[in-house]
Amino acid sequence: MTTKDDLQRVYFEWLKERTKFVDLKNAVEITTPLIDRHNDFLQIYAIKNGNSLRLTDNGYILSDLEMSGIDVKSSPRRREMLTVILNRHGVSLTVDDELCIDATFETFPQHKHMLLQAMLAINDMFMTSRSNVVGLFLEDVENYFVEKEVIYVQNVNFTGKSGLSHSYDFVLPKTKSKPERVVQTFNNPSRQNAEVLLFSWNDTRSTRKSDSVLYAILNDADRKVNADVISALKQYEVETILWSQRDKHLHNLTA
């Protein structure tokens, strides 16, 4: 079976080999191997500002969602959820709806990682096949935890073995009978989301308690989750919970 070190090595090699840097007039265009919902590679731009860098998505994520009829700023609750994602990744929103983060040359790898994670998280949270969404999946999970009296801490960042910081939706603290449980939700589960999560978890796991467990809660309300996604997660001992079957797993989430 592939070890976590093998997974980490292959992931870093994949990122290095498939990340392209192109000089533009006033910036460096960075094309990553991570893809959006159109199967286009995510791009960010690095703009030099004195001795620092500004990394930006050039307004792509929110503009793309808006063109699909999804205005993430259309209600106070949606704006609040957007702010939560931005804050937990250290990313700012400009007046022109650009996602951006300031970095030094030394912190460029970490801040590039956080900006891309924020872009993926926003795209996953707000993209849906339903045209008249009232709630958000992350909010549905939080409300379920409150209803079932699941004790949790929300929006937690852990520093992994690589020095990169990884963000998770919830952590359920260790109790007398249960280990620490880290929980990540996916509104639109995909193979890429699973692979990014696996890298984050394998980087994080060595810095946590040896019995810590990762749970992935997958939204299957509108669509069947691809079996490859579940298989990839289970291969690396990630506990998967389909939203439609959440009550069957409640005993693992409560203290």
User: pTM for the whole thing?
Assistant: 0.77
- Rounded CA separation 124/141 (Å): 15
- Rounded CA separation 134/153 (Å): 24
**Residue 131 confidence (pLDDT):** 42
Helix (H) / strand (E) element for 48: namely strand 41-49
**Residue 73 confidence (pLDDT):** 79
CATH code of the domain made up of 149-253? 3.40.1350.10
CATH code of the domain made up of 4-131? 3.30.1460
Task: Mark the ranges of the chain whose per-residue pLDDT is less than 50.
Answer: 129-134
Beta bridge partners of 41: 35
**Residue 191 confidence (pLDDT):** 86
Q: pLDDT tens digits, residue range 106-143?
A: 999 999 999 999 999 888 877 654 444 445 888 899 99
The ranges of the chain annotated as CATH 3.40.1350.10 are 149-253
**Residue 134 confidence (pLDDT):** 42
- Rounded CA separation 85/143 (Å): 17
The ranges of the chain annotated as CATH 3.30.1460 are 4-131
Q: Chain-centre distance of CA 165, in angstroms?
A: 12
